[in-house]
């Protein structure tokens, strides 16, 4: 007895399981999050440079944020000296969000990606200045920032 039908059916299931990503993404354009860097706040900067290099920031920003939190909350440090020896105030509000937000630094426009369960990532979002959400949604990483920090109301969807 061969049970050929059952074997073929099982193999189709096997192949289907392993090719899910191909079918799931079929017809879609590979558009990664394209964070718009020419916000008014950034335009006003003389030195268009984050606290560390963009390469470093892309991979390590969460570690830096964690380190800042540690310094500010536990050790009372308020100044960060970067790898170039330049000083920055340790402040999410005053340093990070000065650039990484729409409009003025005081008017925070951030959504809480943690509350976004749909995992939506569409090209439209890339035009939005939501620096955290666009990448974080794309790679389905939920930052824990907003479990402590105040979530700006005006940004709530």
Partner 1 sequence: MKVLYSFITVIVLIIVASIGASIANLHYVFGIIIPYLAFIMFVGGFIYRVVKWGRSPVPFRIPTTIGQQKSLPWIKQNKIENPSSAFGVIVRMAMEVLLFRSLFRNTKTELREGQNGPELSYGSAKWLWLGSLFFHWSFLIIIVRHLRFFMDPVPFLVQAFESVDGILQIGLPAIYLTDVFILIAVTFLFCRRLVVPQVRYISLPADFFPLFMIMSIAGTGILMRYFFKVDLVAVKELAIGLATFQPVLPTDIGPMFFIHIFLVSILFAYFPMSKLMHMGGIFMSPTRNMMNNSRMVRHINPWNYDVEVHTYEHYEDEFRDKMKKAGLPVEKE
CA angle, 145 then 143 then 44, to 5°: 70
Nearer to partner 1, 35 or 105 (CB): 35
CA dist 154 → 64, 102, 108, 111 (Å):
27, 12, 8, 9
- What's the rounded Cα separation, in Å, for the pair 109 and 76? 27
Least gap, CB of 46 to partner 1 (angstroms): 26
Nearer to partner 1, 33 or 152 (CB): 33
DSSP 8-state code for residue 84: T
Q: Compute the chain's Rg from CA coordinates.
A: 21
Least gap, CB of 14 to partner 1 (angstroms): 7
Nearer to partner 1, 52 or 105 (CB): 52
Least gap, CB of 95 to partner 1 (angstroms): 19
Q: What residues make contact with partner 1 under the rule CB under 8 A? A: 1-4, 7, 10-11, 14-15, 18-22, 24-26, 28-30, 32-33, 55, 58-60, 62-63, 66, 117-121, 135, 137-142, 144
């Amino acid at each position: 007895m061969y049970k050929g039908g059952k074997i073929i059916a099982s193999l189709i299931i096997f192949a289907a399981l392993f090719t899910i990503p191909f079918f799931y993404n079929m017809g879609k354009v590979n558009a990664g999050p394209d964070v718009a860097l020419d916000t008014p706040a950034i335009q006003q900067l003389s030195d268009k440079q984050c606290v560390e290099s963009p390469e470093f920031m892309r991979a390590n920003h969460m570690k830096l944020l964690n380190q800042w939190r540690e310094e500010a909350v536990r050790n009372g440090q308020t100044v960060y000296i970067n790898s170039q020896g330049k000083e920055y105030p340790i402040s999410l509000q005053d340093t990070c969000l000065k650039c990484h937000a729409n409009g003025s630094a005081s008017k925070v426009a951030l959504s809480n990606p943690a509350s976004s369960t749909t995992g939506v990532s569409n090209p439209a979002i890339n035009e939005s200045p939501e620096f955290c959400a666009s990448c974080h949604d794309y790679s389905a990483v939920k930052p824990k920032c907003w479990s402590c920090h105040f979530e700006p109301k005006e940004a709530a969807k």
